[in-house]
Chain A
Amino acid sequence: MIAADLLVAQNVGFGIISLLMIIGAVRVVTVSNVVHAALWLVIVLSGAAAQYLLLSAEFVAITQVLVYVGAVMVLFLFGTMLTRARIGAESDLNNKNWFLGIPVALLMLGVMSYVIVDGFGSERLIDNSGDMQPIPVQLISDDIFGPYLLPFWALSFVLLVAVIGAIVLARKD
């Protein structure tokens, strides 16, 4: 790979962010404190939002920050507080057979990496001009309310059911 061919700034950005994300993700699944794990998850999710920006998906990035970093994380913290009075390190967050996960995850990673590298090689995703226009929101809305209206309907139905289900489940009676 010749450096001049690449978009240096974006690649450096990508490298830093993905490093942060991977570290964060590993911490999420290894730390022994639920609240800390939630905070590490914030880093991963924000990093994902930054990656979306690199992929010129502005709208999705903003939604990611609003929904995930805003709402979902608050939900997680609530869940933690409502189910565990104690906020601090816990000894037994892992189950007894936790080591089973390592070979399974590594096997999957091996297969997927091989397939990805084999399939895409050194294909350029974004060409050298580097001028990627962010995708206009209008296009996305046309897509949602045009050809993909049916999944949208199904989705709104799922959300409705989820709201009702959450209320029914969590209600005290």
Chain B
Amino acid sequence: MAETALARPGRATRRVRVVTSAVIVTAVALAVLVVPPLAQLDQQAVDLANKLDPPSLAHPFGTDDVGRDLLLRCVYGLRVSLLVGLVAALTATVIGTAIGALAGAFGGWTDRIVMRVVDALSSIPHLLLGIFIVAMFRPGVWPVIVSVALTHWISTARIVRSEVLSLRSRPFIDAAVSGGASRTRVVVRHLLPGVLPQAGLAAVLMVPHAMWHESALSFLGLGLPAHQASLGNLVQSARGSLLAGDWWPTLFPGLFLIIPTLALAGLAGAWRDRINPRRKSELML
């Protein structure tokens, strides 16, 4: 996990960054949603006569080692990676919010036990834990989602717990208790709405992170099945040709992973600056 703390840039720089990020994210969303149904092209079409063609007008990103068009493969790959990233981040956020709210709202022994489990889990490198989880299943989309979700709820749980703890001691919670509100009502009506902005932010920040994990797992051969285009798989299968000097099958999927995730992180960072204006903007991947 690389943590890059950047000095807070000026207003104009920030605006440029947000606008660029928004444009990239919109373009990516359009490409991923619109191209596959409209293009009617077979991303699996093998063309052995044109294998490993360098970028050209017919194939802007070139072709891979069995002659498949890399631009199309990248778009499909990004689609799968984004889907995995979104679903995994949402699942992790739901798990983390539930556990954090439980620990914070009940306090006492519940809190102590839950937080010790969280500490224990966070002492294991989460990629290692993720590898362990996917290794128990056949390769596929769902094991990857489960693995990423189960290893990424921890920070959300910590954030939500501390927010709930700070809200719990406010007099308005006392007022609700005095007005006859049940435990559930206090949590659902008064505590959770207060932590949702933070949890939502954590979810968006987690999407790029989860995409990188999907790619890492696929790159290690443990993630998605090899025929399914995902960004990690594309990079993985291009390793051989890179050594032979064919750079395009590695470069383009790599850029497809890096640029959209940076753009997403940029947007999430801008949102965080709005919620927590005092915190320095930092990118967590």
Q: Are chains A and B native binding partners rather than an unrelated pairing?
A: no
Interface residues of A (CB under 8 A from B): none
Interface residues of B (CB under 8 A from A): none
